[in-house]
Structure 1
C-alpha cells in the first residue's frame, strides 16, 4: 500500500544534546509526516557550519521530499545551490542559536563567516523559527549591525523581510518522571556544560563564598564536562567535596530523580537562547536563580533573576533562600509539549502545503 504521507527532510548539522532532543521529539511526535533525517556529529564547529553541503553532497542527490527543515548550523543557501531539486521546495530554517549573540571562546578566532552563513540561510528560507524572542531579536539586531558596517551595496529593509517570515517556536521540555520523594531545599543543582559560555567560574566562586558564610547546603554537579576537569570543578571538588552528592553526567533516570529532589537550580550562563536545562529543573519543582539577561527574561519573574556576572548578589540571594526558603518554582507549562504541539503542528501543516504567507505562530 503506498505511503501518501507528506515527506519532510530534516537537516541537523550538529547533533548536540539540545539539537538531538528536538529532532528526536519532532520526528517521533508528528508521525503523520514521513521524516527523512540527516545529521552530523556535534563536533568540529567550523567545518560543520561551512562543510555540511559537501558532507551531504551525495546523500541529498537523490532525495525526494515535499519540504525541508534545516537547523541553524546548516549552510542552507549553499546547499540549495548545490541541490537544485531542493531549491524550489518550501523550507523552514530553525534557529537553535545564532552566532551574533554567542560569546567568543578563549581559543576561538573572531570571524564574521559563521554569521554570514546564517544571514544567507535566513534569506534563502521561506520561513524562519526561533526558540525564543531573545534569539530572534539578537539575531536580527546583530545582522543589522554587521550589515551596517559594510561599505556599500547593502539593500534596505533586509531586517523587515526576515521579521515578516519569522516566528517563535520553542523546543518543548520533556516531562520529567519525578517520583514522590522528599525535596531538599538545601540542594543546589548545576546542570549545564562545564564550558566557558556557561561561566562555571562564577558559580564556583559563589559556592565557595557561600560555604565560607557557614550556611548549610549540598551540591549536585551535573552536565557534560571535558575529560580533564576544568578549574572551577576542581576547586569545588577540593574545597566542598563533603557537600557534593552527585558529580557527573548521569543516566536519565538518575538525573530526573535529582531534578525532583533539588530545591534550587542555578545558572551563570553568558549565553542561553532557550535554556532547556533550567526549564526542565523548574518543571520538576526546583526554583531557578538565573542571570537577568538572555532568554531568561522571558521565562522567570524578577525574584528568580540576578544581575549577570554579579557574584555578590548571586551569593546573597542564595544565602537568603537557604536560610528562609526559596520562592515557589515558577510556572513553566508554556514550554511543555501539550502547549507547543499545536503551534508546531500548524507550522508543519503550512510548510508542507507550500504556503509562503507570514507564519501564523508568533509568541514574542
Structure 2
C-alpha cells in the first residue's frame, strides 16, 4: 500500500514515532513529509501552505492512506489538494493543546485548540498515545464548543469519540536491555526536556528535601536542552555539587552511553506537569529502572500505584518514596520494576497493521 505520512512539527518524539512506524512496517510504500519543530504558531497554521505549494507533485500522487500528526493543518491541506480529501486519513495525537500547561509567557490564542478540533473531526480515525490524551482532548473540545457563541452543531464530541482509539507509540526492541545496577548510593536519572512543563521546580524541591533528610543518592540530570533554560537548573546543579550528589549533567550525545546510564540507574524519575505517554520514562523502565512518577497524567494508566507518588504534599511524598528506595538498596533488597514489553513494537505491530489494513479496505477498525 502507498501511505503518505505527514509530520508538520517534527519534534524528537514525533520523529521517534514516525521512524519506528516506517521501520516496523516495511511492506508498505511510504512517502514521508516533515517540517522542522520551530516557529510553533506559524508552523501549525502554515504547514498546509508550505506543503500544498511546495510539495504539490508528491501530494498529488495516488495514495491508499494518509497518516498525519495532529499538528498538520489537515482541513486546509485537503482543500488545497482535493485528491487528499478522497483518501482515507488517520490523525495521530501525540499531545493535545487543551491539556498543555501554560507557562504564562505564550501568546494566548484559540487557534491551536481549533486545529485539534478540526483535525479530529476531519479524520476517518483518531488515534491517541494514551487514554489521558484522548480524554483530555474530548473534555477540552466540549468546553470550547460550549463557549462558542452560536451555530454549533450538536454531537461533535460524540463523533470524535466514536472514531477514537488509544494506540501507544511503541518502544523499539533495542531499548529492552538487562539492568546492570552498581553498588553505592541510589542512582536516580531524570531524563526529560529541560523546560518548565517537565517540573524542574519540583525536582529542586525534592533534592533539597532529600539532602535535609540525609538520603544517600546520586542524581543524573540528562535530556534535550535548548538555548534558553529555566534558571532553576543552575540552582539545581549548585545544590547537587555542594552536596556531592551530582552525576551526569546535560545531554548525552552517544546513544550507547545513554543506554548504559539507564542500565546502571536504579530509578527513573518524572516530575512532569505534562506527559501524554512518557517515552523517556518507559525507555528507562525497559532498561531496568524503577519508575517514580507523579500520580497524574498518563502515568496512572501505565504504572501501578506503588510506582506513583501522591499529588497532595507532593514534595514530601516524592522524597519519602525515594528515601525508602535508598534504604532498601542499602539493605540489599531488590528494587522491583514493572514489565513494559507489552508496549514494544513486537507486541503492538499487529494493532498498527490492523488500523492501516482496515481503513484502506474502506472500513473502520474494530475497537
Matched, 1:346 2:354: yes
1:88-167 → structure 2 map (5 Å cutoff): 88-167=86-165
1:182 Cα offset (Å):
3.3
The answer for the alignment partner of 1:322 in structure 2 is 326
Matched, 1:283 2:291: no
Counterparts in 2 of 1:229 and 1:125: CA distance versus 1, 3 Å? closer
Aligned residues: 354
1:177 Cα offset (Å):
6.0
Looking at structure 2, the residues matched to 50 and 216 of structure 1 have their Cα atoms a distance apart, in angstroms, of 49
Q: 2:178·2:288 contact (CA, 8 Å) conserved in 1? A: no
SS in 1 for 2:7: strand
Q: 2:177·2:286 contact (CA, 8 Å) conserved in 1? A: no
1:259 Cα offset (Å):
0.9
TM-score, normalization: structure 1?
Answer: 0.93
Counterparts in 2 of 1:220 and 1:35: CA distance versus 1, 3 Å? same
Q: 1:178·1:257 contact (CA, 8 Å) conserved in 2? A: no
1:268 Cα offset (Å):
0.8
1:304-350 residue CA offsets vs partner (Å, 9 max, x unmatched): 11133711111111111111247411121221111110100111112
Runs (5+) with no aligned partner, structure 1: 1-5
Looking at structure 2, the residues matched to 218 and 200 of structure 1 have their Cα atoms a distance apart, in angstroms, of 16
SS in 1 for 2:248: strand
1:176-210 residue CA offsets vs partner (Å, 9 max, x unmatched): 26467334561011000110111111111101220
SS in 2 for 1:8: strand
Looking at structure 1, the residues matched to 229 and 208 of structure 2 have their Cα atoms a distance apart, in angstroms, of 17
Q: 1:177·1:256 contact (CA, 8 Å) conserved in 2? A: no
The answer for the alignment partner of 1:42 in structure 2 is 37
The answer for the alignment partner of 1:299 in structure 2 is 302
TM-score, normalization: structure 2?
Answer: 0.92
Looking at structure 1, the residues matched to 176 and 305 of structure 2 have their Cα atoms a distance apart, in angstroms, of 28
The answer for the alignment partner of 1:220 in structure 2 is 220
Q: 2:70·2:93 contact (CA, 8 Å) conserved in 1? A: yes
Runs (5+) with no aligned partner, structure 2: none
1:229 Cα offset (Å):
4.5
CA RMSD across the alignment: 1.6
Looking at structure 2, the residues matched to 307 and 330 of structure 1 have their Cα atoms a distance apart, in angstroms, of 19
The answer for the alignment partner of 2:343 in structure 1 is 335
Looking at structure 1, the residues matched to 359 and 26 of structure 2 have their Cα atoms a distance apart, in angstroms, of 15
1:212-251 residue CA offsets vs partner (Å, 9 max, x unmatched): 2211111111101223553222112212123222111112
